[in-house]
Amino acid sequence: MKVLGVARWFQSRRGPASADGPGALDGPAAGADPAAPLRLLRTAAAGIGTTLDESTTCRELTRAAVRLTGGGAAVMRRTGETVSGYESITGDADLLPDARWATAVARDAGSPAADHWTDPWLARPAGSHTRPAVCLPLNSGSEQYGVLVCAREGRVFVRAEAELLALLAERAASHIRHAREYEHVNRTAGDLQRALLSEPGRPHPNLDVAIRYLPAGGRVLVGGDWCETVRLHFGRSLLVVGDVMGHGLEAAVDMNAYRSSLRYIASSELPPHRVLRQMDALAADEADRRPATCLLARVDPSRGQVTLSSAGHLPPALITGEGRTSLLPVPVGPPLGTGFGGYESATHRFGPDHSLVLFTDGLVEHRDEDIDRSLSRLADLHFKPAVGVDALLDSIVTRLDARNAEDDVAVLAARPHPRQGGFTYEAEEERAPGL
C-alpha cells in the first residue's frame, strides 16, 4: 500500500471536523503532527497479511485493531451463508457485544442491499447495558469474508478511528481472499496428486513393492513428487521415482504428463537410458513444461540384475539380506525437459535377499546441509535381516523423521518375491532378441 495513495484516500474521506468530543482524530489539535494518523496506519497495516494463512491474517488484524483503539477485537468469518462465532480474539473478550448482533451485521454486509450503508462500518451506540462497539465488513471486491468487531469501555468510536479500522479491514480482506484462493489451488493440486499416486502401475508378481508419499506439513503446497511401476516382459519391472520442480497445481499437472509419457515409452521395452532420452525430447518440445528429475530402475529378478539410469536424480539405496545399506553408483544426466540428453545406464547385482529403495530428495535433504552428508545418514542405517518392504519403508520414514521433512517425500521399496519352482525367464528371453 503506497503511503501517498493512502494519504489522499484518507484525506478525501475525513470530511470536516465533527463534534465527536475530546480526543477525536478527525482534525488535529493545534500544534499536533498531521502525519501521525498516517504513521499509525502504516505501522498497523505492515503487520497484516504476512502469510498466506487466513487464521494468521485474522489474528494480525485483531492485534492491530486493539493497538490502535484499545479494548477488545475479534473476527467473525463468513463462508457462503455460514458465519462463524468470534475468532482470533485479542484484548478483553468480555467487552465484545452479543455475537447475534455481529452475525446480523455480517449477513447484512454480504447482501445485495448493503449499498444502503453510508459508511464502511456500523457503530453500536453505548447504552446502560451495552458498551461502544463498531463492526466493519471484511470486503474485497464483490466478496464478503466476514466482519471485524471492536469494542471498549467508555469512549465511543469516533469517525477517524473507524476510518483507520476500515482501512485495516479492507487490507485484511484482500489477504484473506488470496489465502482462500491459495488454499483452493493447494487442495485441488493435492486431490489430483493423491488420485494419481493412488493408482500406480502393477509390477510383475515376482517383485514385492511398497510406496509411501508424504506431503510436507503445514501450509506447503504439494509438489510434483511421484512414483511409478511398469510391468515389462519376461519377469522384469521398471521402477520409477521423479520430482517435478516447484509446487502447486502446475507441478502436479506436469507430473501427470511425465508419468503418462513414461508409461507410453516404457511399453516399447527400451533400456532405461533410452527411455529417459525420449522423455527428455518430448518434454523439451513443450515450452511450459517444468523440468524434472527422474530415476529409472529396470529390475530383472530372474537374472539377479538391476539397471539404473538417472536424469539429475539422487542414487538409490541397496539393502542387503544382512541389513546393510549402500548407495548404488548411477550415471547422472541432466534433468528432463532440458533437451540436452546424454543419459547412460549402469547395471548392478540384485540378489534374491536384496531390497532396492528409490526416493526423492525430501527424504534426506536438510536445509543448509551438504547433500553428501544427507545421503550418508541414509547409508548409515542398518535393518533387521529379511525385513519386508512395508516394514522397511516404515522404518526408514521413522528413523529419518520424514514426516517432518521440509519438502514432499516419495519413496519406493522393492524386493524379489520368491516363486515356487524357481521358474526363470532366461530361456524365453533368449528367443526374443532385441528386447
pLDDT digits (tens, 9 = 90+) for 88-134: 999 999 999 988 888 888 887 655 444 555 567 778 766 656 789 99
Of the candidates 182, 110, 117, the one whose C-alpha atom is nearest the C-alpha of residue 146 is 110
- Which grid coordinates are listed for 194? 493423491
For residue 217, name the pLDDT band (cuts at 50, 70, 90): low
Higher pLDDT pick, 193 / 409? 409
Which residues contact residue 427 at a Cβ distance below 8 angstroms, ignoring those fewer than 6 apart? none
Pairing of strands 305-311, 332-333: parallel
Is the per-residue pLDDT at 427 higher than 50?
no
Does residue 306 contact residue 272 with C-beta atoms inside 8 Å? Answer: no
**pLDDT score recorded for residue 59:** 96
Query: CA-CA distance, 376 to 149, in Å (whole number)?
Result: 55
* Percentage of the residues of the chain whose pLDDT score is greater than 70: 80
**pLDDT score recorded for residue 183:** 87
Q: Any idea which of 7-21, 317-331, 362-376, 408-422 has the lowest mean pLDDT?
A: 7-21
Q: What mean pLDDT is predicted for residues 175-190?
A: 86
For residue 149, name the pLDDT band (cuts at 50, 70, 90): very high
Does residue 374 contact residue 315 with C-beta atoms inside 8 Å? Answer: no
Is the per-residue pLDDT at 212 higher than 70?
yes
Does residue 337 contact residue 282 with C-beta atoms inside 8 Å? Answer: no
Q: What mean pLDDT is predicted for residues 285-308?
A: 95
**pTM across the whole model:** 0.61
**pLDDT score recorded for residue 229:** 93
For residue 414, name the pLDDT band (cuts at 50, 70, 90): very high
Query: CA-CA distance, 87 to 148, in Å (whole number)?
Result: 10
Higher pLDDT pick, 196 / 247? 247
For residue 399, name the pLDDT band (cuts at 50, 70, 90): very high
Q: Any idea which of 36-45, 153-162, 212-221 has the lowest mean pLDDT?
A: 212-221
**pLDDT score recorded for residue 32:** 58
Query: CA-CA distance, 216 to 222, in Å (whole number)?
Result: 7
For residue 426, name the pLDDT band (cuts at 50, 70, 90): very low
